[in-house]
Structure 1
Amino acid sequence: MRIGILGGTFDPVHLGHLTLAEEARLQLGLDQVLFMPAGQPWLKDGTPLSSAHHRMEMVRLAVASNPHFQVSVDEVERSGPTYTVDTLKAMKGSLGSGTELFFILGLDAMEHFSGWKDPETLVDLCHWVVVERPGHQGFDQASFLADYPGSAGKITLLSMPLMGISASEIRRRAQAGMSLRYYLPGGVSEYVQRHHLYQADGETSDKVTVGTAPPTRGRLLEVALERGALKYGKFTLTSGKESSYYFDGRLLSLDPEGAQLIAEAMLPVLLQAGAEAVGGLTLGADPMVSSIAFASRLRGENIPGFIVRKEAKVHGTGQGIEGPLPPKSKVAIVDDVCTTAGSLFQAIEAAEAVGCTVVKVAAILDRKEGGSEELTRRGYDFFALLSASPDGQIQVVQPS
């Protein structure tokens, strides 16, 4: 038996989803296509979604007229964040070796495959059916094969007309009171109107937030994966240690949206701590300091930034700190990653050496390898936006 799997939040399911599923069924000779709404998709942690009940009901209405389409509740009924690798393992175990699985996804999702949980295992679990989307054409299959040799013979590029329908556009139209005709199946359109989904007066009762993370931090995790700042796999760190993930903070802090999100997430915490300036050790802290200082200006707070040199100048004034740091200021020290906290401690020592008081220490990612614990032990108030879980997954940190 050949079964296609079309996963997603389906918030809402629309005609683009149905057309894609039918094209895949016909071109690949599939016996069935399973629509699988996500329960708590980890890639959208902190993103407002309609309740699982509403999304399931809309999918049921959408597929009711096609006997080849079915709805799967596997991910919706699973507690905690949902990962594709876990879903596919469970399906292969229950369906047996006589069933071939075909996972259908857009090229925009495939471009971030390296950020998925356990991608090396994923490629071995099913066939991959990739479809181009507006703004996402030209799949580099040779590069993908080089990165994942196990995908040889398992990737199909589906040929179908590009459809510029997106769930985000439908939500925008619904909130603006615009027509949804020719965007949604008739039954789904009526359901959206009957339950006031995506409208200002329906958001409180019909929206839930995946996990409990603030939207800014949740989106920051998404951007890290989308830009390749966070990748899962097998990596050897500078220290020689093996890691199940790799994080390049500068790919995030130098990205326009990433820089904005970092500043928006950190600035309120630094202000609450009474920080009068923000700084850190070059190079990881440089873009963060600039973004936070600029964001403070937009809020009318005017918190200056400063950069700590790794070594003091050997010419001129011989200073070790660059920037307008007022004497005896209350300061916040930031860095992109906290591992052993060596860079953070170097910046702390430089600031304290000129009479400043460190009121807050922050990082984008806490790798949970002893650094944050040592900061706390020494009496520094530390927080991070993201942290590594014991099983090597990166998760959003709840604000205290």
Structure 2
Amino acid sequence: MKKIGLMGGTFDPIHYGHLVLAEQIRTQFGLDMVYFIPVGIPPHKQDKNISSSKDRYFMTLLATITNPNFEVSKIEIEDNNISYTVNTIKKFKEKIDCDAELYFITGADAIYELETWKNVKELLTLCKFIAASRPGIDERKLRQKIMELNEKYNSHILVTAVPALAISSTDIRNRIRFGKSIKYILPESVEYYIYKNKLYI
């Protein structure tokens, strides 16, 4: 059975932290492919300014193009509605081999908010979740929460630890605004795109 990872995010901009996370999970869980899904209209960030979907799509494409196991999907940015994960997964299932096993990749922090997501009970029947832990997360508390969710929803939420990369999209945007270097914290092609298109200034 084909195993496909789905990694959603604003990717504003995408950086090495995203790429390291995706590659580690791909190899650890034996995924055939990881699809990066730039969010269209994020339900939790509607009051915040984010870059255009075109810019975020092209930056994600540039960052992943050298990895044959990475793809970028327009499934959310081509939709004019709020991007709910449950809808994205259902649409994705329609587009790919129906026998493929889907794994939604997310940060450990999101697990604590999972029950606030739209139609969470249905969502957890559509795919497995992989929660990426990080330094500073209470692993015992996280595993307890995952066990509770798995029992409550008969779900398959897995957890893995990822390397500590102190990189965030917010920090990158702030560095650009204050004229600081962003070299070596994101792919050079993405850095070039940002400066060429005068993003985050």
* Same fold (TM > 0.5): yes
- Render the CA deviation track for 1:193-216: whole Å, top value 9, x for unaligned: 1111111xxxxxxxxxxxxxxxxx
User: Alignment partner of 1:70: what SS?
Assistant: strand
Counterparts of 1:42 and 1:29 in 2: how far apart (Å)?
Answer: 31
Q: State the match for 2:193 in structure 1.
A: 191
Residue 106 of structure 1 pairs with residue 107 of structure 2? yes
Question: What CA distance in whole angstroms lies between the structure 2 residues aligned with 1:137 and 1:53?
Answer: 37
- Deviation per CA, 1:328-362, whole angstroms, max 9, x where unpaired? xxxxxxxxxxxxxxxxxxxxxxxxxxxxxxxxxxx
* Large movers: runs of 4+ above 6 Å: none
Pair 1:38 & 2:45 matched? no
> 1: CA distance between counterparts of 2:138 and 2:23?
20
The match for 2:87 is 86
Deviates more, 1:150-159 or 1:41-50: 150-159
The 1:67/1:150 distance shift into structure 2, 3 A limit, reads: farther
Instruction: Pick closer, same or farther for the CA change 1:155–1:179 going to 2, 3 Å.
Output: same
Checking the alignment, whether the CA contact within 8 Å between 2:146 and 2:157 is kept in structure 1 is no
Larger strand share, 1 or 2: 1
1:184 Cα deviation after fit: 0.8
Q: Give distance in 1, aligned partners of 2:86 and 2:155.
A: 19
Deviations 1:259-307 (A, max 9, x none): xxxxxxxxxxxxxxxxxxxxxxxxxxxxxxxxxxxxxxxxxxxxxxxxx
Equivalent runs, 1:13-92 vs 2, <5 Å: 13-92=14-93
Alpha carbons of structure 1 residues 69 and 4: separation in structure 2 relative to 1, 3 Å = same
8 Å contact kept, 1:16–1:163:
yes
- Alpha-carbon distance between aligned partners in 2 of 1:12 and 1:134, rounded to the nearest angstrom: 22
Q: Which residue of 2 aligns with 1:146?
A: 148
For 1:206-245, what aligned pairs fall within 5 Å after superposition?
Answer: none
Tell me what 2:157 maps to: 155
State the one-letter code of the partner of 2:176. Answer: A
Larger RCO: 1 or 2 (CA < 8 Å, sep 6+): 2
Larger Rg: 1
Which piece of structure 1 moves more, 86-95 or 29-38? 86-95
Residue in 1 that maps onto 2:176: 174
Mapping for residues 1-400 of structure 1, pairs under 5 Å: 1-138=2-139, 139-149=141-151, 152=154, 154-199=156-201
Q: CA deviation at 1:101?
A: 0.4
What TM-score, normalized to structure 2? 0.93
Q: Is the 8 A contact 2:111 2:146 kept in 1?
A: no
Q: Which residue of 2 aligns with 1:217?
A: none
For structure 2, the residue ranges without an aligned partner over 5 or more in a row are none
8 Å contact from structure 1 (residues 12, 55) kept in 2: yes
Number of corresponding residues:
199
Q: Take 2:15 and 2:73, find their aligned partners in 1: how far apart are those partners?
A: 17
One-letter code aligned to 2:181: S
| Displacement of 1:153 | 6.3
Identity among equivalent pairs (%): 38
Amino acid at match of 1:160: V
| Offset at residue 69 of structure 1 (A) | 0.4
Q: Secondary structure at the match of 2:50?
A: strand
3-state secondary structure, aligned to 1:35: strand
Q: What is the deviation of 1:134? A: 4.4
What runs of 5+ residues in structure 1 fail to find an aligned partner?
200-400
Alpha-carbon offset, residue 135 of structure 1: 3.7
How far the C-alpha of 1:156 sits from its partner, in A, is 1.7
CA distance in 2, matches of 1:75, 1:182: 29
Give CA deviations for 1:38-78 in whole Å, capped at 9, x if unaligned: 01011111110001010001001000100100000000001
Q: CA deviation at 1:147?
A: 4.1
8 Å contact from structure 1 (residues 108, 133) kept in 2: no
